[in-house]
Amino acid sequence: MRRPRKRVVWILLGSALAGVLLLYLAGGLLVARATTAALPSLLGAVGGNEGSLRRVEFEETALRPWLSAEWGGIAVDALPSASRHFPHPAPVRIRVRQARARVVGLFPVTVDLEFDGIRVDAALSLDGPEDVPFGGDEFDVPLQKIDSGRLVLPAVELGSGVRAALRKERAIVASFLREGATPRRVELNARLHFKLNDVPMSVRLETVRAEGKSQLRLNRSDLDVLSHRYDRPLTEAERDLLAANPLKAPVLLRIKEYVERSSRRLAAADRAYNEDSTRHVLWSYWLTKTFGPEFAEKVTEAHEIGSDNTAQESARDRSNNQLGREWAEAQRTEGQVVHRVKTDPRVLR
């Protein structure tokens, strides 16, 4: 009786191994069919105020040991949300070299999601703040493309269903892109390509884990290269501040460009305007109007730290910066501030 039992055991083991082998050999087809069937429902789950996904295509699929599904050659048609400057946005084609879902837990079912080789070839123009003179395309730094992207969402729980899990993760990623930080462990890296003064530039967007949060950063060494494209290169402290505030960086650079143009124009038209004093007052004024007095002071102080100004020049700049914050908090219009720069004896020239 022992031999038949052993034979049955070997048959069962062989059948199980054959089943596992067949599963992985045909796994790509099963993943493809399951994905195609689920896509209409999943696309609705990942839509939101930040835009929507219209179509997803993929070239290949596979099922890997242990319980890891892969998709390759992914193309996504996304529609950005409408905005004041772009009321009718055009669809954007997003390409992903490879996506992977790897099971890391069973009770509840938990997966790690990874997206590698993310690329956006369409030019993206960032919407500026509402009702400000530096919010138009004239002061924009449009993104020509995004590549070398990688997004990792570890430990995504599917216990409440795939749709609910994707909706939750979409909200987390959208908040991360909007706020620049999240308590959730997220990895997002990419290279941003743009033109500055008609010169092609690029800067890496990175994720660091600090103070219990995942935080977006701009690569510091890339900012060193970017700084030299300006007539007045950014100080070390200014570059540190931009690196730590990547979502504010485009608007900070817009304000910088706007006030430099305005101060030059005013000084050229009327000798009563001192270009340096006018620039500092207007700069501090618009920083305060846009970000509040505390962050405005942090930005202007970063400019003074490490500059080649004398102690007397830095004291003058700080005094004029203070006037800009004061007039912004008093709700003065830009026209009133420009007039005060010319007539107020507290403005140091």
Kind and range of the H or E element at 75? strand 68-80
pTM greater than the 0.85 cutoff: no
**108 and 189 inside one domain:** yes
pLDDT of 1: 46
Can you give the residue range of the structural domain that contains 270? 250-343
Give the C-alpha distances (Å, rounded to integers) separating 133 from 34, 129, 262, 287.
51, 9, 10, 13
pLDDT in the model for residue 7: 57
How far is it, in rounded angstroms, from Cα 254 to Cα 141? 8
Note whether 164 and 266 are same-domain residues.
no
Q: Are residues 180 and 274 in the same domain?
A: no
Asked whether residue 288 falls in the same domain as residue 169, the answer is no
Residue 223 is assigned to a structural domain of this protein: no
Does residue 243 form part of some domain? no
Is 239 within a domain?
no
What letter represents residue 119's amino acid? R
- Same domain for 211 and 263, yes or no, is no
Over its length of 349 residues, how does the chain's per-residue pLDDT go in tens digits?
455 665 555 545 555 454 445 445 555 666 667 777 777 766 666 666 666 778 889 899 888 877 888 999 999 888 877 766 667 777 889 999 999 999 999 889 999 999 999 999 877 666 567 677 876 666 666 678 999 999 999 999 988 888 889 889 989 998 998 899 999 999 999 999 987 767 888 999 999 999 999 999 999 999 998 888 777 788 999 999 999 999 888 888 889 889 999 999 999 999 999 999 999 999 999 999 999 999 999 999 999 987 888 999 999 999 999 999 999 999 999 999 999 999 999 999 8
Question: How far apart are the C-alpha atoms of 39 and 33, rounded to whole Å?
Answer: 10
Whether 159 maps to a domain, the answer reads yes
Best CA proximity match to 274, nearest among 217, 306, 320, 237: 320
* Residue at which a domain ends, from 218, 240, 274: 218
Q: Which of 163, 329, 136, 300 is nearest to 234 (CA)?
A: 300
211 and 79 within one domain: yes
pLDDT for the residue 336: 96
Give the whole-angstrom CA distance, residue 170 versus residue 81.
15
Please say whether the dihedral angle defined by the alpha carbons of residues 184, 190, 194 and 199, taken in this order, is positive or negative.
positive
Kindly state whether residues 52 and 158 are assigned to the same domain.
Answer: yes
Burial 118-133 (b: 16+ CB within 10 A, else e): bbbeeebebbbeeebb
Same domain, 138 and 30: yes
Domain count, the chain: 2
- Position 134 scores a pLDDT of 75
In a domain, 238, yes or no: no
- The answer for residues whose C-beta is within 8 angstroms of residue 15's C-beta and 6 or more apart is none
DSSP letter string over 141-208?
Answer: --EEEEEEEEEEEEEEE-TT-HHHHHHHHHHHHHHHHHHSEESS--EEEEEEEEEETTEEEEEEEEEE
**pLDDT number for residue 185:** 96
Position 335 in a domain: yes
Distance CA(135)–CA(154), nearest Å, equals: 37
What is the rounded distance in angstroms from the CA atom of residue 245 to the CA atom of residue 240? 9
- The answer to the question of residue 7 being in a domain is no
Judgement on whether residues 213 and 143 belong to the same structural domain of the protein = yes
Instruction: Point out the domain boundary residue: 218, 241, 276.
Output: 218
Q: Is residue 58 domain-resident?
A: yes
First to last CA, the chain: 106
User: Both 203 and 335 in a single domain?
Assistant: no
Task: Judge if 84 and 209 occupy the same domain.
Answer: yes
Both 211 and 255 in a single domain? no
